[in-house]
Each structure stands twice: as C-alpha cells, then as structure tokens.
Chain A
Amino acid sequence: MKRANEPVFWSLFGAGGVLSALLGPILILITGIVVPAGTGMPPDAMAYPRVLAFAQTWCGKAALLAVISLFLWHAVHRIYHSLHDLGIHAGAGAAAICYGFALVATLATAYLLIIIGF
C-alpha cells in the first residue's frame, strides 16, 4: 500500500488548528470588529506607528508569520480534503494549488517582514 505523505501536511494543519483555536476568534474580533467600529479599544490600538514598531521586533515578526502562515496551512488542508467530501475529485493539481498557495503566502509574508526592517 502506498505510504501517505499526509504527516507533513497534517502536522502543519494541526499546528495551525491549535493556533487558530486559541487566537483566531479574538484576533478577528479585535482587528475586524472592535477596532474598526471605534469602541472598546484605545483609538491608536492598530495605528501605523504602533503596528510598525511591533512588526520590527523579532517577537512581532514571529507572531505575524506564525499567525498568517499557520492559519493558511490549516485552512488549505481542510479545504483540499473538503473538495473530496463535496464530490469534487481533487487530484494532484488541486493539492498543488492549495498547498502551493499556503507556501507562497508563507514566503511572501516572511519577505515582507524582512523588508519592513528592524
């Protein structure tokens, strides 16, 4: 029987799943609802200077990369397997698109975080 390479993607899926199961809702609430609505947070919570300073620390870079990258590795794994559940016979091509997207996004985020500076 053919050995599956699933462990690689499942590990990333799991890491992203844990991270998003801890931080997903609160981040969406803060960045997508509370701050844009203008109440419940100081007005400069997501202001450019503050966020830039954050993104220029190693801690901030690690946090941003982990969140964006792992959320995506988790999501694409689930989406890819759900295609099958929906009766879409997703083969290697679909896998390449899904996982490729997460890979490109990871590399792009890393690159952007580097050029943002220190």
Chain B
Amino acid sequence: MFSNNSDTLVNAIAVQSRIVYALIMREIITRYGRHNIGFAWLFAEPMLFTVGVTALWSIVHTGDTSHTINIIAFAVTSYSTVLIWRNTIGRCTLAVEPNLSLLFHRNVRVLDLFIARIILEIVGITLSVITLMTVFVGTGMIPPPADILTMVGGWLLLAWYSAAMGLLVGGLCEYSEIIERFWHPIAYFQLPVSGAFAMASWLPPKIREIVLWFPAANCAEIFRAGYFGSSIKSYYSVGYVAVVCTLLTWAGLAAVKFISSKVEH
C-alpha cells in the first residue's frame, strides 16, 4: 500500500523510486507517444544527432593530416559528451510548470520531476552512444576502445555534473524566467570550452588552462582517454571535477528545495 509513515529511510526511498518510475513512464508516453517507433526515439534521437555530426566532421576533416586519430571515433566520443550535458540541463529548464498539477499527489515532489527528467535523458543518450559505438566497432569503422572502465568513469562523472547543473539551472529557472532565457545562449557559448571540438593537448597551454576550469571539458578528456588510451595525451583532474560537482549538487538541491516551498498551484 502507499505508505504515509515514510519515517524510515528505506520506506522513503521505496516511495521515491516508485514516484520517479511513474514519472519516467509518464514522461516517455507524453514525449514520444505510442506511434511509430514510440519510446525508441528516446535513444534514436540523440543517435541521429551524433551520426549527423560525425558525418559532417568526417567530410570537413577529409585530407586534414594534422592529427593522426580516427575522425569518426573522435566525433562519437566528443559530441556525445556535449549531448549529455546540454540535453540534460536543457530538459530541466521549465520542468515544473507543465507538471504542476501532479503535485496534487502528496508524494510527488518538485525534486522528483527533475530526477525523472535527468534519469530519462541520461539513460537515453547513454543507450544511443553504446549502440553507435557497438555498430561502428562491429563494422570496423573505428577501433575498439582501449580502456572501457576509464570511459565509464568519465561518463559517470559527466552524468553527475549534468544532473547537478540540471537541478541548479532548473531550480533557478523556476525562480526567475530570466535565467531560462539566459541559459540557452550560455549553453551555446560554452561549446568552445566544452572540450568537445578539440583535445586539450591540441590547445596552447594558456587556453588549455582556461578550458580545464570547466568540468565538462575534464570529463570529455577522461572519456577520450579511456577510448584512445595511450595513443593520445589527456589533461584532466578527477579530484577537481568531484569537488565542483559536490558543490553544484549541494547548490542544486538547495535551489530545488527553495522553489519547492514557493510553488503554488
């Protein structure tokens, strides 16, 4: 039964998992419907994006001999990192408004709305990347990854950063619409420092230093380091990213808590 005595942690986790699951299922149906491939769009959509960008880069960089790595592999490993932070944080903007009426159910909290969207987005993109890599490796278009564990580590770190930023930006957007308007240009101008378009080792040391202030760039470096292994030189600091993510998580949760008490319906 639905429990009202959510006084034990286990109980509370059980209730919250149930709510988040219900919200995810609901979100999938609202977003993708039951027509044609339905919820397969969840990972088909980011996959199309990655494939498109990969194709584009392959054409542009044909004959470019300055770097000796596989351009397809570079595109897949790099662009997918952009997708994950950009889509996850983007989904968290204006996440509350369309779901306001759900808050009539006592156990549904504002935080759950964010968690559901974050999980859905991360899972979708992760699935798409796994599928793409498997296909590319299977068909011999790219070599197999050097160190899968390091890749997973970088990916998880990036997911953490995206989730924390999602809570923070999502919470702030609810507080003021101006934040929402600002977020899109900010996300856009962040692209050059996201580590997706160039490896840190290609950059002049001064610029590299600036780029590595951004957690997303560090994560992209780790992810690529795992894929390419010792054939490239990577620059990153796991400790730095972890500290920044911890602070962002704290700020994000605080923002969500703050707006939760203000939400009226």
A binds B: no
Interface residues of A (CB under 8 A from B): none
